[in-house]
Structure 1
Amino acid sequence: MTPSWRKPFGMFLILALILLVMVIVGSFSATIGRLPVLVQLLIYVVAGIVWIAPLKPLLRWMETGRWR
């Protein structure tokens, strides 16, 4: 078996996705900081979970080479 380039590239994409979410949430931090604490908590919890959604197809692609 020859090593697949998909796994290292997929790991790079996962790190890029995390960085993108961090930049987006960080750019709104001043606005979020003015909200009540419970609303802030809800926003940060949702943002912490949302980045996981694209991982399933990406991990499937890394393993099989197919998106579906």
Structure 2
Amino acid sequence: MTPSWRKPAGAFAIVALIIIWCVAVASLSRIVGEWPVLIQLVFYVFTGIVWILPLKPLLLWMETGRWRVPKD
């Protein structure tokens, strides 16, 4: 069985996604730092969860080569 090139490419994409997301959120820290603490908490919890959403199709592509589950 020959290893697929999609797994290393997908792993690289996941790392790139995390780095880009961290830079984007961190660039807003000066603005967010002026908000009330509870609003900051909501913002950081939300942004800490949202980056996971693109992972499902990416992981599916890494395993199957398709971006969506085929409809039967």
State TM-score, norm by structure 2.
0.93
Point out the structure with the larger helix share.
1
State the Cα RMSD in Å: 0.4
Give 5+ residue unaligned stretches, structure 2.
Answer: none
Alignment size in residue pairs: 68
Looking at structure 1, the residues matched to 32 and 26 of structure 2 have their Cα atoms a distance apart, in angstroms, of 9
Aligned to 2:21: 21
SS state at 1:2 partner: coil
Structure 1 residue ranges (4+ consecutive) displaced by more than 3 angstroms after TM superposition: none
Aligned to 1:61: 61
Looking at structure 1, the residues matched to 11 and 5 of structure 2 have their Cα atoms a distance apart, in angstroms, of 10
User: Mapping of 1:23-62 within 5 angstroms?
Assistant: 23-62=23-62
Give 5+ residue unaligned stretches, structure 1.
Answer: none
Instruction: Report % sequence identity.
Output: 66
